[in-house]
Amino acid sequence: MTTAAARLGRAARETVSGLPGQFWWLWTSTLVNRLGAFVATFMALYLTIDRGYSASYAGLVASLHGLGGVVSSIGAGVMADRLGRRPTMLVAQVSTAGSVALLGFVSDPVAIAGVAFFVGMASNASRPAVQAMMADIVRPEDRVRAFSLNYWAINLGFAVSSMAAGFIAEVSYRAGFLIEAGMTLACAIVVFARLPESRPAPAAKESRADTSLGTVLRDGRYMAVVGLSFLVALVFQQGSVGLPVAMGSAGFSPADYGMAIAVNGVLIVALQIPVTRFIEHRDPRTLLVVSALLAGYGFGLTAFAGSVGVYVLTVCVWTLAEIVNAPVQTGLVVRLSPVHGRGRYQGVYTLSWSVAALVAPLMSGFVIDRFGAAWLWGMCAVVGTVAALGYGLLMRRVPEHTERQADPAAAGAEREVRAA
């Protein structure tokens, strides 16, 4: 037992060692942000129970919140490249804090919808800047580990905030809005006090056109990655949109769904770090193919679920896919992004997930109503297979340790790292 504990401790130390201090402040800001993420958890309950609005109106507000994220994805990426990572994060976080606090006080339905749209814009705007800064400050060989640790912080914070949200809602929904605003403001204070700007200095020959948004959209290989990311995101979104509807239609209670979906967060918190050690230096092509297949067929197996235990088993399968896919996919995005265009490239990548969050509810609702839940899970298996084939073909043309550089000095530095 002592030997096992020693091995576990050594593995944990090796996982967190060697990363710069600036990364840990960025990681801390992410954790603080997610610890206060209450609104997304109880928004539907707040609107239907506390405010007395219909389920249709609650769905409209959720869609507008998602639409705000779509709108801000690209704009925030451009800001991260032009103004810098740090100013973009500060503007996004302060705006999020103010708009979330305001959302707790407005009562007019039009005002609620408008503020929710702005909350979606502001809360999503920091993501491209965070990912770009992480790529700036972490060595290429450590990025999968860094992205994995950041993803672990996101899920740890969300798991805690989800549990706390229920207790806070019983006391006061408004208190939840104000607590989230305060935590987001604390996140901004961490960024302001501890995180210097990381945007690389422009190279002498770099022109604005080199990193324009049009350049990103014309980058066929990169846009293929974005398209595959959209397919995978479309599958993963079914855990929160298709699965509860299907379980409810099959006669299971909300508590049954809560028990099944809770396994997702628990497994990510428990397995993200050890799985990262296993995958860190393995072939990304194989990992992306396998994760896409696990996601597709993990949800596909839901068609055969007849008990909560089987639903939990399917959640375990696609959660493993999520644990593998998230850091590897983000690392691939960084490798395909030019140094001075990371913000824009990350913004377009974030867009794929934002659009999937809009499309997935419409798709699952239509398919379940028209054809039945079994067809939805079959479609997930097909989409996962298509994504896996796409990764297999695309990654043949991506060198294993490529990172696009915009300046010769950075390229030379990376060649030295590879040679070592």
Over residues 165-209, the pLDDT tens digits come to: 777 877 888 888 999 999 999 999 999 999 999 888 765 454 444
In contact, 321 and 294? CB cutoff 8 Å: yes
Q: Give the pTM.
A: 0.75
Under CATH, which architecture does the 21-197 domain have? Up-down Bundle (1.20)
Close Cβ partners of 210 (under 8 Å, ≥ 6 residues apart)? 338, 340, 341, 406
Q: Please say if the pLDDT value at position 407 is more than 50.
A: no
128-142, 157-171, 385-399: which has the minimum mean pLDDT?
Answer: 157-171
Tokens of 131: 């990912």
- Domain range annotation of the chain: 21-197, 212-410
Close Cβ partners of 208 (under 8 Å, ≥ 6 residues apart)? none
| pLDDT band, residue 409 (cuts 50/70/90) | very low
pLDDT > 70: percent of the chain:
87
In contact, 335 and 404? CB cutoff 8 Å: yes
Under CATH, which architecture does the 212-410 domain have? Up-down Bundle (1.20)
Helix (H, G, I), strand (E, B) or coil at 240: coil
Phi, psi of 123 (to 5 degrees): -70, -30
Calculate the average pLDDT of the chain: 83
| pLDDT band, residue 156 (cuts 50/70/90) | confident
Domains 21-197 and 212-410 share a fold: yes
Q: What is the pLDDT of residue 7?
A: 62
Over residues 253-300, the pLDDT tens digits come to: 877 887 888 788 889 888 888 888 788 778 888 999 999 999 999 999
56-62: average pLDDT: 78
d(CA 183, CA 200): 29
In contact, 346 and 337? CB cutoff 8 Å: yes
